[in-house]
């Protein structure tokens, strides 16, 4: 059996689809299954059992001997939520319990960290673990991910294999339920489809022109490919960046979305909302040398390739991965 927490979510459901492609069908899907708008993410997937996240640990105590691998993808990911107790429960304490169970039952573990841990990038975007205690995230979500990373590095006991993945700006199918937290590509498609135009945030940083803010966008299919590589690799435990390794502008993103939709680009700029303006990242780019150094050789899809696939094969026909 392979466990995937956050199974109804964006990355978790895409990971299950990828596992099914490789004929891993004894999937244990763990999540809060109460949100109706997320149920479509699991339709058609081969899943052995669904386990509510609050009942998961007692389930694991009864079934640990059948578990081959655990992907802990589930988390509260809302960067605009400022109730720290929510993140402490779901992102920190829950993850600590998973870590301990993986030690007790000798289960290899891959868990989701985040590039939100890097804050404004004052120390760059290098996944050197010695820098992690010095990072300054910009919101409680980023703090919770960094708090767990720091805790992991302080532990004397570990699962026999473990990896934390700092996801950068992931986009792709199965994010339909994420509303404000969905990728800019998803929002671009929706705006262009309805109005024929797209709004981008105006720059409030004199070092960046409007639309020239840069992020490391990574297609979700590349993310799940790395997850499977680590499941098979099971060596070189540690915390790794997971981005494309190439920063691109929001103008690149917008123009490629228009092209994929066959629409003439028409972009307008609006002020960045005040509640996120002082916490807005203007540049992110993952250093990917660490993952490459342990033998990951697959190339990452370019922004053009990823957007074209996402728009034409999923957004236009309304399909899920």
Going by the annotation, the residues of the binding site for substrate are 169, 180, 187, 201-204, 215, 280
- Dist CA 148 CA 87 (whole Å): 11
| Catalytic residue chosen out of the listed positions 150, 178, 199, 246 | 178
Give every CB contact of residue 273 below 8 A, 6+ residues apart in sequence.
none
- Dist CA 258 CA 7 (whole Å): 31
- Dist CA 56 CA 58 (whole Å): 6
Is residue 24 within 8 A of residue 32, CB to CB? The reply is no
Instruction: At 29, give phi and psi (nearest 5°).
Output: -90, 120
- Dist CA 5 CA 56 (whole Å): 9
CA angle 231, 236, 237 (to 5 degrees): 75
310 is catalytic: no
Residue positions forming the annotated binding site for NADP(+): 10-11, 31-32, 38, 53, 73-77, 145, 170, 178
Strand partners, 115: none
Is residue 71 within 8 A of residue 4, CB to CB? The reply is yes
Residue positions forming the annotated binding site: 10-11, 31-32, 38, 53, 73-77, 145, 169-170, 178, 180, 187, 201-204, 215, 280
| Catalytic residue chosen out of the listed positions 125, 141, 240, 310 | 141
**Number of Cβ atoms within 10 Å of the Cβ of 187:** 17
319 is catalytic: no
Q: Which residues are catalytic?
A: 141, 178
């Amino acid at each position: 059996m392979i466990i995937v927490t956050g199974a109804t979510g964006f990355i978790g459901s895409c990971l299950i689809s990828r596992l099914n492609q490789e004929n891993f069908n004894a999937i244990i899907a763990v999540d809060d299954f109460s949100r109706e708008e997320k149920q479509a993410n699991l339709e058609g997937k081969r899943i052995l059992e669904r386990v509510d996240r609050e009942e998961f640990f007692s389930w694991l105590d009864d079934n640990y001997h059948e578990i081959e691998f655990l992907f802990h993808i589930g988390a509260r990911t809302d960067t605009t939520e400022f109730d720290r107790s929510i993140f402490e429960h779901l992102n920190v304490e829950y993850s600590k319990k998973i870590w301990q169970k993986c030690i007790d039952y000798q289960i290899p573990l891959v868990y989701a960290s985040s590039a939100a841990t890097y804050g404004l990038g004052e120390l760059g975007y290098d996944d050197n673990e010695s820098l992690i205690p010095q990072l300054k995230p910009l919101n409680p979500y980023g703090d919770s991910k960094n708090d767990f990373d720091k805790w992991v590095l302080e532990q004397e006991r570990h699962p026999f294999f473990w990896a934390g993945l700092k996801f950068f700006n992931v986009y792709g199918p199965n994010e339909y339920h994420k509303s404000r937290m969905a990728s800019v590509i998803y929002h671009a498609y929706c705006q262009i489809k309805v109005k024929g135009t797209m709004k981008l945030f105006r720059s409030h940083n004199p070092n960046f022109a409007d639309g020239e803010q840069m992020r490391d966008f990574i297609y979700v299919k590349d993310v799940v490919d790395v997850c499977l590589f680590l499941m098979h690799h099971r060596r070189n435990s540690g915390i790794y960046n997971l981005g494309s390794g190439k920063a691109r502008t929001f103008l690149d993103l917008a123009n490629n979305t228009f092209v994929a939709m066959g629409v003439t680009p028409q972009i307008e700029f609006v002020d960045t909302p005040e509640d996120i303006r002082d916490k807005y990242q203007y540049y992110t780019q993952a250093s990917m040398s660490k993952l490459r150094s342990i033998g990951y050789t697959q190339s990452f899809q370019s922004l053009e390739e990823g957007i074209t696939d996402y728009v034409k094969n999923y957004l236009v026909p309304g399909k899920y991965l």
